[in-house]
Structure 1
């Protein structure tokens, strides 16, 4: 058979090349051409038309990825790691992954591009690519997921902590090229510690040593951290240092600039401002900078080829985040050290129970100085007993026993004297002078405080109290339970009229003071560094710090005392510390011997006998009584879990910042502690997260809120 033009249509007389052309035409005619994929009439991206997105919606029952269609015009920009805007919420029906059109626009991150979606229905499209800058890589995503699982939280909440807010101007500026590795440093003052020189050498050779470092008193700690960072950079890897506050960050920053030069490291602190902080963070993510020093949020810094993580003073409460899921810097850096197989250094003048456990378990090695080195670097510590106070009634009224008075007077001949006071303000708490019963408000039972004018008012409800009398003994005279920093400064100013008195606390924190004679009154943690060190230090009201109803009271008191005493000159230079507390107590004796490690080891042993953290894993569950009871019944806790409580919790005072775990004003909440032995922590976190997600999916209202916190810092 022939076609109209006389050529064969595939018969026997056709040429081979003609047959091939005809057969190809027939094949194409039989297979209909695929229509381009569209969404609402708009073409979708070719090849990988689906974007898997983690949305910024920190609720547990939505803690998963959602699939969205990628419009053709967003194909190039919508790469893994970029910020996007998607439709989510009311009107957008929830399915396994997809969403139909409707709902409000919220932020999210593209985590993956796919060819197909698990969801069989139509997908909503990406609304916008906020920026083409990829800020979430797989390494950071994996770390965030591990942290969320450990703390029974959502991935979105962790990403809010890990990725700083975008700043367009900072993002548009190119980062400088990466500098070549510096030379390996000499051990320097690391030689003062057993195996200190070997630790630095191991970092410089590309090793991953893990150590708990008890630093000697004095200012050398910042330079020692800088040497460890330099050794890591010399091996071609990156380093991350996390400190509790801006002042120690500034000291490490200065030490790194001195050792590495300008532009070789980034500083990530909240004080830097949003633009500068985001610019520095981008330089780290882009690989231009491989060394980072910062405060809490820097624990997630995306350092390339991470070779060392460092945490300084892990007992400081600032290392525990007050935002869900409440991660602790120490635990996050432990995760990073294990995931990245990098070095780990936990340092401080003191030693926490958790640090002692790392050493006892063999996960980390101790970096300690010998006793001769400790005695040579530490000041002389002297104690004042109750017998001395009883024989010196005038000193008791002034809160300065004779020994403290003499040491302060002698120290002022040679330099500044530090006075640590456990409370800020004027007279934070009052009690009956006769029976020492705390003075409380007649309306709400809140503690009474004295204003600057002398009038009494309630610290909880704010009502004035004009006719107070003791409900126990009928007395009408008040005394200060713990005198605050301002009142102490006034007393010292009258006692030493020719000496300037300076205060450092929440309202105004001093960074440094000169080497001239002066009295520096400070609350714990706000002590400024003195030029050449303090000649002496007085640690007042030690009983107030030890009397806190908290599992960590003695550990925290010793940490605060050592932090202040470490700023005093060594004993050979006349440095003396006087602590006003019962001298036979264990933390006081640990300070006298300068033995924080021994104290931590004994605390760890006692907690092991009692089954308290860190030997066990523990979770705090807080909420209204009925909601809490229902939550504990529904949670499928591990078989070896033990529930302690519930017990009532404190109510936050109206008009004052609410602490984590406090009940809202006017509400009665309870708290239960759930404890599991080692090895069951992950199962406990999964059970609590599942139960919380189920409650949220059922639409539990705010009045039925239940708050879960894994490994709470304060368990009472």
Structure 2
């Protein structure tokens, strides 16, 4: 039962009890006069003498149940039922469970005990806690407050956020005691931080207990992991904790090794999915218990319960891996910003490139830039050369082969001194096609899927499999085609034939290499999978740059520059002969930013254009998707802020048949539309609250068509 004031009895209605007992229950409910009655249970169990009421958050991710429920604490559970522990309770009608207003089989449901109270706001009888799963308190008030802030920001439920924040329990890990905490280390030397104009001052502020906030444009090369380790060490020297979030396991391993080298063993925890559930939970418990005060990990580590937090750091915030795919889909950058505000700690946003969000933090004055002088940048960066369309047209070699003469010469020269990196925009073998004249993507006439070249030039649709024999470009009428993006495997084969005496290695989704030796070799990689070469690459080729720039996405230019710089940062400095050749039009802004090695300037200009157009991050935006009818009904029910602007609707692509459905894609057989809701700065919280309230009301009614809401969608077309 749920009272009008939102409190509940934990789902106890007396169903299944003897008739005479059920009558007594109903009579007691009718006769309840005061809003604060002494807690009673329908089973008549003996209650705890002090604080007999437990306020519980049940593990139900539906929005209309996103509140606390009161339960009675039996006397036998009094000692273990402490705030923060996991419990099991009965929820829903009788022995059933409620799922969006419908009964679902099952008796018990997991939850977290939030607090103990002397009495309840609900006047009826309370169901008793069924079980304390473990006496280990895993939900601290600080973590609960952070989870609530994240849920409100992303219009999600608190239970969904806690599923991301608290790892599943492992009994063996809980039974093992955590080691005793080590004393704080001494303040570290500045090391390579002296290469940055305010690098030494940043470390000194952390070591003295300050909370500096900086957006760090790291110099190319492998020193970034050691620099992060020194920032963590400086924070630990002040007696506080530190948290570092990186995009993938390879980056986490590098920071882990750097922390071990600077701090020694036993002073930090590594939280990644590769560790396995038991080891990961054991490391997480060591952090929560205060045995370890430094954490490095991937996306889920953004919620790590570090005690007395002094620094939160995020590396490469433009990487897609930082965006959570499970509801409510928070981004690690925004979670760490909330933590920095909540704990009043230091904040470090670092990367070789710079996102528009990072530029906004600096422009607003919330953070300071942490950059190197231009002379230092020139000494650290490789030489970048470009090959545009006019160069290809004049290049006789490029007409018969995929690579122009400049690229071949750079590869040949680089192989004399070490490995050469070749970045290809996509994995695989089959090339997708585009018009040779206007470069519009070649699409299937039946399903609009991408056309691919197979079997000696025959065209096939990559979605429906139909053969295309009479294609012509609907944009310019041309009948000539060219390969839009050639996959990594085919590129490796072509280069292997061109350089038969050189080893060719590939790194991509099937097999991602971590490192390669400092010997002549061709390393063909997709973006994000580039291995680190011992001593750096002698040269790098960035192929098909126009394909990355031509994506119909607001972040296409920023993303392309970030991927190029990530690859070029692995190349030796220009003074050591390091050369990068990018195949893209040299007059384009991202290409010019790469040539000058000026990602900050590119981000600042992008931010200015976004401000003129009213696009994120200057504005706040939400994407609402569903069928046309459901979308219209839902938006009519939402009490949007007065300043809200609706953009759309546009069709939502279903994706290729037979492939896994992307998050937010419509179910099979349904045609969905998407509407964007935009509000000016300062109204994002109101927008999220309005959408969350309307979504909760829709779920409470039940039986309606699905509508998906996502705050701050990563791509808006």
TM-score (norm 2): 0.91
In the other structure, the counterpart of 1:713 is: 714
- Deviation (angstroms), 1:481: 1.6
CA contact (8 A) 2:97 2:107 kept: no
Find the aligned partners of 1:667 and 1:494 in 2 and give their Cα distance: 47
In the other structure, the counterpart of 2:406 is: 403
- Deviation (angstroms), 1:439: 4.5
- Deviation (angstroms), 1:103: 5.8
Instruction: Indicate which of 660, 667, 673 corresponds to 1:657.
Output: 660
**Relative to 1, partners in 2 of residues 1:572 and 1:44: Cα closer, same or farther, differing over 3 Å?**
same
- Deviation (angstroms), 1:664: 2.5
- Deviation (angstroms), 1:171: 1.0
Deviation track 1:110-153 (CA, whole Å, cap 9, x = no partner) reads 00111111111111111111111110010000000000001111
- Deviation (angstroms), 1:90: 4.4
Other structure's SS at 1:121 match: coil
In the other structure, the counterpart of 2:417 is: 414
Instruction: Indicate which of 345, 366, 379 corresponds to 1:363.
Output: 366
* Paired residues for 1:382-393 under 5 Å: 382-393=385-396
* Paired residues for 1:662-681 under 5 Å: 662-681=665-684
In the other structure, the counterpart of 2:702 is: 699
* Paired residues for 1:135-154 under 5 Å: 135-154=138-157
Find the aligned partners of 2:286 and 2:311 in 1 and give their Cα distance: 18
Other structure's SS at 2:697 match: helix
Find the aligned partners of 1:434 and 1:585 in 2 and give their Cα distance: 19
For structure 1, which segment, 348-357 or 383-392, has the greater mean C-alpha deviation from structure 2 after superposition?
383-392
Other structure's SS at 1:408 match: helix
CA contact (8 A) 2:41 2:125 kept: no
CA contact (8 A) 2:610 2:616 kept: yes
In the other structure, the counterpart of 2:225 is: 222
Other structure's SS at 2:411 match: helix
Find the aligned partners of 1:670 and 1:323 in 2 and give their Cα distance: 21
In the other structure, the counterpart of 2:168 is: 165
- RMSD of Structure 2 on Structure 1 (CA): 2.2
CA contact (8 A) 2:181 2:290 kept: yes
Deviation track 1:515-554 (CA, whole Å, cap 9, x = no partner) reads 0000001110100000100000000101000000000000
In the other structure, the counterpart of 2:470 is: 469
- Deviation (angstroms), 1:699: 0.5
Deviation track 1:178-237 (CA, whole Å, cap 9, x = no partner) reads 000001001111111011100000000000000000000000000000000000000000
- Deviation (angstroms), 1:275: 0.6
- Deviation (angstroms), 1:413: 0.3
- Deviation (angstroms), 1:665: 2.9
For structure 1, which segment, 160-169 or 433-442, has the greater mean C-alpha deviation from structure 2 after superposition?
433-442
- Deviation (angstroms), 1:661: 3.0
In the other structure, the counterpart of 2:545 is: 542
Find the aligned partners of 1:405 and 1:54 in 2 and give their Cα distance: 63
CA contact (8 A) 2:40 2:72 kept: no
In the other structure, the counterpart of 1:563 is: 566
* Paired residues for 1:92-103 under 5 Å: none
Find the aligned partners of 1:710 and 1:475 in 2 and give their Cα distance: 42
CA contact (8 A) 2:58 2:112 kept: yes
In the other structure, the counterpart of 2:86 is: 83
- Deviation (angstroms), 1:45: 1.5
Find the aligned partners of 2:96 and 2:669 in 1 and give their Cα distance: 37
**Relative to 1, partners in 2 of residues 1:179 and 1:476: Cα closer, same or farther, differing over 3 Å?**
same
CA contact (8 A) 2:492 2:506 kept: yes
In the other structure, the counterpart of 1:682 is: 685
Asked if residue 310 in structure 1 is aligned to residue 313 in structure 2, the reply is yes
**Relative to 1, partners in 2 of residues 1:625 and 1:247: Cα closer, same or farther, differing over 3 Å?**
same
- Deviation (angstroms), 1:653: 2.2
**Relative to 1, partners in 2 of residues 1:154 and 1:37: Cα closer, same or farther, differing over 3 Å?**
closer
In the other structure, the counterpart of 1:499 is: 502
In the other structure, the counterpart of 1:648 is: 651
- Deviation (angstroms), 1:642: 0.6
In the other structure, the counterpart of 2:15 is: none
Other structure's SS at 1:321 match: coil
Gaps of at least 5 residues in structure 2 are 1-36
Find the aligned partners of 2:48 and 2:121 in 1 and give their Cα distance: 18
- Deviation (angstroms), 1:480: 2.2
- Deviation (angstroms), 1:388: 1.3
In the other structure, the counterpart of 2:291 is: 288
Find the aligned partners of 1:610 and 1:333 in 2 and give their Cα distance: 27
In the other structure, the counterpart of 1:426 is: 429
**Relative to 1, partners in 2 of residues 1:170 and 1:619: Cα closer, same or farther, differing over 3 Å?**
same
In the other structure, the counterpart of 2:130 is: 127
Asked if residue 245 in structure 1 is aligned to residue 223 in structure 2, the reply is no
Asked if residue 53 in structure 1 is aligned to residue 56 in structure 2, the reply is yes
Asked if residue 624 in structure 1 is aligned to residue 627 in structure 2, the reply is yes
* Paired residues for 1:188-267 under 5 Å: 188-267=191-270
- Deviation (angstroms), 1:652: 2.3
Asked if residue 517 in structure 1 is aligned to residue 495 in structure 2, the reply is no
CA contact (8 A) 2:247 2:298 kept: yes
In the other structure, the counterpart of 1:348 is: 351
Instruction: Indicate which of 464, 486, 491 corresponds to 1:488.
Output: 491
CA contact (8 A) 2:41 2:127 kept: no
CA contact (8 A) 1:55 1:107 kept: yes
Find the aligned partners of 2:522 and 2:236 in 1 and give their Cα distance: 42
Gaps of at least 5 residues in structure 1 are 1-33
CA contact (8 A) 1:87 1:103 kept: no
Deviation track 1:654-701 (CA, whole Å, cap 9, x = no partner) reads 332322332223321111111111111110110110111111011144
Other structure's SS at 1:651 match: coil
Find the aligned partners of 2:39 and 2:404 in 1 and give their Cα distance: 88
TM-score (norm 1): 0.91
- Deviation (angstroms), 1:491: 0.7
Larger radius of gyration: 1
Asked if residue 106 in structure 1 is aligned to residue 109 in structure 2, the reply is yes
Asked if residue 595 in structure 1 is aligned to residue 595 in structure 2, the reply is no
Find the aligned partners of 2:715 and 2:83 in 1 and give their Cα distance: 39
In the other structure, the counterpart of 1:8 is: none
CA contact (8 A) 1:426 1:452 kept: no
Other structure's SS at 1:42 match: coil
Find the aligned partners of 2:605 and 2:479 in 1 and give their Cα distance: 44
CA contact (8 A) 2:39 2:126 kept: no
Deviation track 1:603-660 (CA, whole Å, cap 9, x = no partner) reads 0000000111111111111111111111111100000111111111111223323223
Other structure's SS at 1:633 match: helix
Find the aligned partners of 1:373 and 1:434 in 2 and give their Cα distance: 42
Find the aligned partners of 1:445 and 1:333 in 2 and give their Cα distance: 40
Find the aligned partners of 1:571 and 1:66 in 2 and give their Cα distance: 64
In the other structure, the counterpart of 1:323 is: 326
Find the aligned partners of 1:155 and 1:555 in 2 and give their Cα distance: 33
